[in-house]
Structure 1
Amino acid sequence: MAEAENAQEMFTGTKEVAESHRFDESRLAEWMEANVEGYQGPLTVKQFKGGQSNPTYKLFTPDKVYVMRRKPPGKLLPSAHAVDREFRVINALYPTGFPVARPYGLCADEGVIGTMFYVMDCVDGRILWDGTLPDYEPAMRRQIYEAKVKTFADLHNTDWKAAGLEGFGKEGDYVARQIHRWTKQYKASETEHIEDMEKLIEWLPENIPPGDTTTIVHGDYRLDNMVLHPTEPKVIAVLDWELSTLGDPLADFSYHLMNWVMPSGDETRGSLSSIPDLKAHGIPTMQEYVDMYCEHTGRDGLPQLDYYFAYNAFRLAGILQGIVGRVRDGTASNANAAKNADRVRPLAAFAAERARMAGMKD
């Protein structure tokens, strides 16, 4: 629990812009003057403490506060840091009423600040880093989790074609494509040999559950990737759409369910497995949460969760190995990114254990 409390303090708020992420602020101000409706300077720039993948900045003006997300400078993995994709999905969802920040503009001209970026509204509310919600009473915890799952179901229920997201991703074979993507990025970032990862790379693509459907998927839906209303149990903005695409909603939702089954030592995702009595704590059990999601989406249940847990732990290990690789290459923007190296091997072991429960042979 202490790690999660430290995370709340460590990642909340802003800091001076890191030396490696500085840019010509006057060029940004000129771009905003020309491209952001209602913009009036002068401009003051701070950097958020969180947001290790894409550096994220808080832009202050006398009358309004904005947020800027940019690609990090330096050597980047193929297809990573897709801020243009983030902007596209936010721009598509905002008119539908789904809770995202208002988008103002995307700049693909690297001559402005050195890398591609976009600017959106700064949504005022709470970002909570500990999924156990230690500062809240059981009734409020329950309401926050109900709001989370309802918002997630709303995303998967959104008509992505009507929202203008045709071509945002391929229809079908989402899990197969994800396994291929994260295998490729894992290999590109590999810093040590992990036997469990090698077994999963071989077994997972051969045993994908049939019958996936296509929806918008977030890719990393979790408590600290959303803004809650300042006082109410209501999601007012979902953040960090870098991994979003069109894909299998069950893969997306089961990744979120990892909070219930993640090894208790992995506190940075707000693991709930260390809470002996979730009901008394006010947080739904995994089955209750699954039932809520199914009710909101019209499903009868979630089949083959062990496979999805194996797949998702493998995917998370691949993501974290990518961060480790960026530390190696000097492009990671979070001072704590190096600690992720210690998480890759346990996640691979967890994924292999779930895969064996789903039928993988040693």
Structure 2
Amino acid sequence: MSERQEQFSGTSAVRPGQEIDAGRLHDWMAANVDGYAGPLTIEQFKGGQSNPTYKLITPGQEYVLRRKPPGQLLPSAHAVDREYRVITALHAQGFPVARTFGLCQDNEVIGTWFYIMDCVDGRVIWDTTFPSVPKDERRAYFDAMNATMAELHMIDPDKAGLGDFGKPGNYFARQIGRWSKQYLEDVDAGRYAAMDRLVEWLPANIPPGDEVSIVHGDYRCDNMIFHPTEPKVLAVLDWELSTLGNPLADFSYHLMMYRMPPSTTTGLVGNDLAALGLPTEAEYIDAYCRRTGRDGIADIDFYVAYNMFRLAGIIHGIKGRVIRGTATSAHAKKSAEGFETLADLALAQAKKLGA
């Protein structure tokens, strides 16, 4: 088992400071969740750095609870209500997400907003090399990820009831502005020269053209549940960053696995892809383009640079939460230590384009 698989798989006892009043939660679920019946046992998933995630066990069914973390929060972060809305809408479209059961926006119940969804039985793969999958099956798993993302981007937001889920157009300018603002305002986490340069360079070099689709925002192998034995995605998880946006931004974020070292994330740089039975970056791009009716993706280097910057911004936020004492994952401190490396990687991409 890989280190990340060991660190993040499964559940553990609820972490100190993130406890839930089981009695109050039981009462709320009894009143709001069809078919719920206690007694209720609560465990916490090891993963879930941003929104604490819990497994709720009852004699008849298992559920998952996602909540805002306790403590002081940035205004736009931890939007569990948006997660709940997009998952509910996509489930109705037949897209692979968990069924939702209810959203609570009353802080009096467990201290923060939360929602309840189905606990999907399957496996989460935390290492992008898919070491737990036989070599001759790995391409099929990559193809399943690719096909699922293409399916998401081909859903009509209006028909899904998500036509107002984000602002249409100018996605890159708005996102660069958002993450720049969040980076600059989080004074606890500090400044870094590479990020400062990207804050200046990126908005001045956005490629022409714009498209709008539903985007996930954090599409990775470890944010989905695969069938226990088959190369099939049963549920895509962690929709906190979803919105209406440019599908090429979403796809190129996912594509970063080909340009990131394993020491930084679960990147593939330095691995022999053929020996591992994995498709190349070019093959993966071609498969997505075929599924979405594209001839190719121009400006992929800019999109990857932007996404590395954005990921560095996310990690910078985790660093700030570690410093403020509101980080929700036991592994948040280690993640936060990767901020400068990520910012350097992002700037290196931008330098290919003259930054």
Shorter-normalised TM range: over 0.9
Equivalent position to 2:302, from 282, 300, 307: 307
Q: 1:192: which partner in 2?
A: 190
| Distance apart, 1:197 and its partner CA | 0.9
CA shift, 1:258, in A, is 0.5
Please report the TM-score for the alignment, with normalisation by the length of structure 2.
0.98
Deviates more, 1:21-30 or 1:84-93: 21-30
Equivalent residue letter for 2:248? L
Q: Is 2:315 aligned against 1:317?
A: no
CA contact (8 A) 2:184 2:191 kept: no
CA distance in 2, matches of 1:53, 1:135: 26
Q: Deviations over 1:179-200 (max 9, x none)?
A: 1111111123243331111111
> Could you tell me which residue of structure 1 aligns to residue 237 of structure 2?
239
The answer to whether residue 89 in structure 2 is matched with residue 92 in structure 1 is yes
Aligned mate of 2:255, from 254, 257, 272: 257
State the Cα distance separating 1:264 from its structure 2 match.
4.1
* One-letter amino acid of the counterpart of residue 291, structure 1: D
Measured after TM superposition, the shift of residue 18 of structure 1 is 1.4
Is the 8 Å Cα contact of residues 321 and 340 (structure 1) preserved in structure 2? no
Unaligned ranges ≥5, structure 1: none
Tell me the residue number matched to 2:40: 43
Correspondences of 1:1-362 after superposition (within 5 Å) = 5-190=2-187, 191-266=189-264, 268=265, 270-276=266-272, 278-360=273-355
Which amino acid is the alignment partner of residue 349 of structure 1? D
Q: Aligned with 2:17: secondary structure?
A: helix
Using the alignment, how far apart are the partners of 1:40 and 1:111 within structure 2? 21
On the 8 A contact 1:15/1:46 being kept in 2, the answer is: yes
1:350 counterpart letter in structure 2:
L
Q: Return the offset for 1:23.
A: 2.3
Contact 1:263 / 1:350 at 8 angstroms: preserved in 2?
no
TM-score, normalised with respect to structure 1: 0.96
For 1:312, give the aligned amino acid: N
Distance 2:179 2:285 in 1: 26
CA–CA distance in 1 between the matches of 2:37 and 2:330? 33
Which amino acid in the other structure matches residue 270 of structure 2? S
Give the C-alpha shift of residue 24 in structure 1.
1.4
- What does the per-residue CA deviation read over 1:250-304, in whole Å, with 9 as the maximum and x for residues that have no partner? 00100101000113431x3x2111212x123211100000000000100111111
Deviation at 1:97, TM superposition (A): 0.6
Q: Is the 8 A contact 1:228 1:237 kept in 2?
A: yes
CA distance in 2, matches of 1:246, 1:202: 24
| 1:111 alignment partner, SS class | helix
Q: Distance in 1 between matches of 2:337 and 2:14?
A: 27
More displaced stretch, 7-16 vs 60-69 = 7-16
1:336 is displaced (CA, Å) by 1.4
What CA RMSD, in Å, does the superposition of the two structures yield over aligned residues? 1.1
Contact (CA 8 Å) 1:91, 1:102: kept in 2 or not? yes
CA contact under 8 A between 1:57 and 1:68: conserved in structure 2?
Answer: yes
In 1, distance between residues paired with 2:280 and 2:165? 34
- How many correspondences in the alignment? 354
CA contact (8 A) 1:189 1:324 kept: no
Q: Match for 1:236: what amino acid? A: L
Between 192-201 and 219-228, the greater mean CA deviation after superposition: 192-201
State the identity %.
Answer: 59
Q: What CA distance in whole angstroms lies between the structure 2 residues aligned with 1:63 and 1:237?
A: 21
Q: Aligned partner of 1:114: which letter?
A: G
SS of 2:108's equivalent in the other structure is: coil
